Amino acid sequence: MKIIGIIPSRYESSRFPGKPLADILGKSMIQRVYEQCKKASSLSKVIVATDDQRIFNHVLSFGGKVIMTSNSHPSGTDRCNEVIQSLEEKYDVAINIQGDEPYINPEQIDEVASLFSSENVSIATLAKKIEDESLITDINSPKAVFDTNGIAFNFCRKITNPEKEKAYFKHIGIYGYLTKTLAKICKLPPSDNEIKERLEQLRWLDNKYLIKVGITTHEGISVDTPEDIEKIKAQMG
């Protein structure tokens, strides 16, 4: 199975414009993400998908592979699909990797890739058991709800009336798709549940696509604000 890792990377951000180019201990954030992805043994290729010339030029400057994409995409999923459709080389699976986790563990990428060893898997993602109970009702920390076979039946921002002694799982925002499935889901209109929860994966569930959820013990540190950069520097420096 041939798998490509795609890192959607936009310059514009309401809280942190230019975030991909922010310096973290001598390297830009996008370079650190790219280099971590290159360590994943499951990936045949890693490519940055951007809509900004500054990011495009920067990725080339450190020897990375990059493609310019439209600035009108509503999501990283759509940006990944444009990459797949534009490449002459064909891939079986595309993994959509967050561009704001500079120290993403390559094992997470391989964990997503491994889920495609089952024939019926067309979309896959990860979840991590919640240890901090405050996250169960934190709307900024989406949850994955799935059965004993790892098939998702819901994603939500808040668990209402959580049960004691029950395990809950935080959704980790990395996705894998069969490339033929990726092309199909990008043609779907937003669903009511997706709009309500602001979670695009609900569109796929609402349209009867199965989402396989793998359980991971890894969780990267994401960067949303300049203050997050300083926290990472303090931890890593």
| CATH number reported for the structural domain that contains residue 203 in this entry | 3.90.550.10
Angle between helices 29-38 and 106-114 (to 10 degrees): 50
| pLDDT tens digit at each of 237 positions of the chain | 999 999 999 998 878 999 999 999 999 999 999 999 999 999 999 999 999 999 999 999 999 999 999 999 999 999 999 999 999 999 999 999 999 999 999 999 999 999 999 989 999 999 999 999 999 999 989 999 999 999 999 999 999 888 888 999 999 999 999 999 999 999 999 999 999 999 999 999 999 999 999 999 998 888 988 899 988 888 876
- Predicted TM-score (pTM) of the model is 0.95
CA distance 20 to 38: 17
Bridge partners for 127 per DSSP = 171, 215
- Return the pLDDT at 51: 96
For the record, the structure tokens of 158 come out as 């808040």
CA distances in angstroms from 166 to 130, 159, 163, 169, 176, listed in the order given:
10, 12, 6, 10, 28
Backbone angles phi, psi at 120, to 5 degrees: -90, 5
Backbone angles phi, psi at 99, to 5 degrees: -90, 5
Range(s) of the domain holding residue 137? 3-236
- Count of domains in the chain? 1
DSSP 114-151: HGGGSTT-SEEEEEEE--SGGGGG-TTS-EEEE-TTSB
